[in-house]
Amino acid sequence: MATIHPFRGIRYAASHIEDLSLVIAQPYDRIGRAEQDAYYRQHPDNFVRIDYGITEPDTPQNNVYTRARDYAAAWLAAGVLQRESRPALYVLEQIFAMPDGQSHTRRAFTAALQLTEFVEGVILPHEHTFSGPKADRLNLTRATRAAWGHIFILYPDPQNRINALLQPFIEHTAPIEARELVIEPAVQQRFRVLDDPQLQEAIVQEMAPKRSLVIADGHHRYETALNYRAEMRAQNPSAPADSAFNYALATFVSMSDPGLVVLPTHRLVRDTSGRSGADVLAALAPYFDVQILPSRAELERALRQAAPEHPTFGFYDGRQYARLALHSLDIMGELAREHSPAWRALDVAVLHRLVIERILGMGHGDGHDGDDIRYLRDLDAACAAVSQGAASYLFVLNPTRMEQVNACTRAGEKMPQKSTDFYPKMVGGLVAMSLAGSI
C-alpha cells in the first residue's frame, strides 16, 4: 500500500531569499546548457547549482557532484537553506493557461514516499529508463545524501477526496508565490507548508490503501532511489525501517484533478533515403486512411475530432498536411504480439512500430532518440524546422489520454519513450529532503 510521511523539508530561508523565483529551477532533464547559464546568472544561490550544475574540467576531487555537496553544505551553514523544525507536508498549486486561453489550476502535495519495487504494484512506471541519467542521479545522491528532485506521481482518487481535505487549508493559508523564470515563466507557483498534524494524518490515511499509483515524471529518479536504498541497506544492515533512505521525495497529483494536462510530443524526422513526402504518403496508404488537408488549422481540428479507438496522427512535409487514420489494429497484433492490446492501440506505438520502423525502416526501438528523429512539444518550432529544410517531415500527435496511461500501466506495460508530457513540470528548489538519519 502507499505509505507516505510528513518530513522535515530543506527549504530556502525567507530571510536570505526574498523572491523564490530567482532560485527555483526546472527538473534536470529539461535543462540544456543555455538554460543552465541563465539560472547561474539569475542568482548565486540558484538551485540548479546543486541539482544540475555546469560541468567544468572535472576531476575526482572537484566535479559537479562534489560542488553540489559543497554548495548544499555552505548554504545550510550560512542559513540560505534551512531544515524544517518539525515534519510537514507541502502543498503546491500551479496556475497556468493553455493556448486556447483557458486557465487551469493543478493541485499537488509533497511527502516522503516509502519505496516499493514495481512488482509489488503500489507504484507503477509507464516509460522506459536509461542507464546514463540513473548513474548521474545516483552520484548526486551519494555525494549529497539528499533528494533534490521530485518524483511526480499520479494517484487514483475519483472523488478528489484529498483535494477536498486540502481546500480549507488553502483558503485560510497565505501561499509563497513564485514563477520559474527560464523555461516555464507563465506558470504561477503557489506553495504552502502544511504542519497541522491532524490534517497530515487525514491525508496519510487517505493514501494508505491506494495502489497502482503511476509515475508521471521522474522514472530515473525513482529507480535511482531504489538503487540508493539497496546500497544503504547493504552498508547498514541493521538500520531501522524509518531510515530516510527507504523513502523518496514525491509530489502527488490526483488522476482526477481538473487541472491535470497531458501535452503531445511530436516526431520530427530527418530522412536521408531521398524519399519525398508524397513517397511516404504513398507507402502509408495501404495501412491508413490518408486525408489531405488545406492547412495546419484543419489538421489540428481533424486530430481533435479523431475517434479515441482509432490511432490517428498528422503529417507535414513542408508542402502539404495530411491526417493519417489507421485502417485496422490487426497489423499491430502481427508487429507487436509481445504487447497488450492497450499498448498496441497507442498512437505513439503505431507510429514507431508500424510507420517509423516497419514502413520507413528507421527504427531505434519504441521511441528511443536518434540523430534522425527529434522530439518536440512546440508544434510551431517543429513545423518551422520542416519548412526551413532542417527536417524532412513531421508527425503530429494527439496527447496520450490518462485512461491509456492507466490501461498500459495496469497491464504491466511501459509506453514508448516520450509518450506523455505532463504540463507544467514540478519545479525544483521549493523543498528537498535529507536522506541521512530518520525520516
pLDDT in tens, 208-265: 999 999 999 999 999 999 999 999 999 999 999 999 999 999 999 999 999 999 999 9
pLDDT digits (tens, 9 = 90+) for 379-428: 999 999 999 999 999 999 999 999 999 899 888 888 888 899 999 999 99
Of 75-79, 169-173, 188-192, 304-308, the range with the lowest mean pLDDT is 304-308
Look at residue 363 and tell me whether its pLDDT is greater than 80.
no
In this structure, is residue 278 part of a structural domain? Answer: yes
Sign of the CA dihedral with 251 first, then 260, 42, and 192 last: negative
Q: 243 with 271, same domain? A: no
Same-domain check for residues 254 and 381: no
Q: What are phi and psi of 333, to 5 degrees?
A: -65, -30
Shared domain check, 255 and 203: yes
Q: 13 near 30, Cβ under 8 Å? A: no
Supply φ then ψ for residue 392, to 5 degrees: -80, -45
- Residue 303 CB neighbour total at 10 angstroms: 21
Distance, CA of 95 to CA of 103 (rounded, Å):
7
Examine the pLDDT at 19 and tell me if it is beyond 50: yes
The pLDDT score that the predictor gives to residue 364 is 56
- The C-alpha cell 533528494 sits at 147
Helices (H), 79-160: 131-144
51 and 181 share one domain: yes
**Which of 187, 169, 200 is closest to 259 using CA atoms?**
187
Beta strand ranges found along 274-411 (DSSP E): 288-293, 312-316, 321-326, 373-376, 393-396
For residue 248, what are the domain limits? 4-261+423-434
Enter the C-alpha cell of residue 225.
532511489
Q: What is the mean pLDDT of residues 170-188?
A: 98
Residue 112, Cβ neighbours under 10 Å: how many?
25
Query: At 88, is the secondary structure helix, strand, or coil?
Result: strand
Residue 381: inside a domain, yes or no? yes
User: Do 143 and 176 fall within a single domain?
Assistant: yes
Assess whether 199 and 298 both reside in one domain: no
In three-state secondary structure terms, 405 is helix
Closest CA to 427 of 234, 214, 150, 167: 150
- Clarify whether residues 134 and 225 are in a common domain: yes
Residues 250, 276 within the same domain? no
- Structure confidence at residue 368 as a pLDDT band (50, 70, 90): very low
Confidence of residue 362 (pLDDT cuts 50, 70, 90): confident
Average pLDDT on 42-62 reads 95
pLDDT at residue 416, rounded to an integer: 87
Residue 370 has what pLDDT? 57
In which element (H, E) is residue 162 found? Answer: helix 161-172
- What pLDDT sits at residue 369? 47
Q: Is residue 195 part of a domain?
A: yes
302 and 231 assigned to the same domain: no
Residue-wise pLDDT for 269-296, tens only, equals 999 898 999 999 999 999 999 999 999 9
Residue 18: CB atoms within 10 A of its CB come to: 9
Return the pLDDT at 29: 92
pLDDT of residue 205 exceeding 80 = yes
Bond preceding residue 424 cis, omega within 30 of 0: yes
Residue 439 lies in a domain: no
Better-predicted residue by pLDDT, 370 or 128: 128
> Is there a domain that residue 66 lies in?
yes
Give a yes or no: residue 274 inside a domain: yes
197, 180, 162: which is closest to 39 by C-alpha? 180
318 belongs to a structural domain: yes
Q: Give the contacts of 200 (CB within 8 A, at least 6 positions apart).
A: 6, 87, 88, 89, 194
User: In this structure, are residues 204 and 114 in contact, taking their beta carbons and an 8 Å threshold?
Assistant: no
**Number of Cβ atoms within 10 Å of the Cβ of 275:** 15
| Cα gap 144→19, rounded to integer Å | 25
Number of domains within the chain: 2
Q: Is the pLDDT of residue 347 over 50?
A: yes
Q: Say if pTM beats, i.e. exceeds, 0.75.
A: yes
pLDDT band (50, 70, 90) for residue 127: confident
| pLDDT tens track for 311-343 | 999 999 999 999 999 999 999 999 999 999 999
- In a domain? residue 8: yes
189, 92 Cβ separation under 8 angstroms: yes
DSSP H helices in 219-274: 219-235
Looking at the structure, do residues 380 and 293 belong to the same domain, yes or no?
Answer: yes
Note whether 240 and 273 are same-domain residues. no
Do 406 and 365 lie in a common domain? yes
Q: Mean pLDDT of all residues in the chain? A: 95
- CATH for 318: 3.30.1760
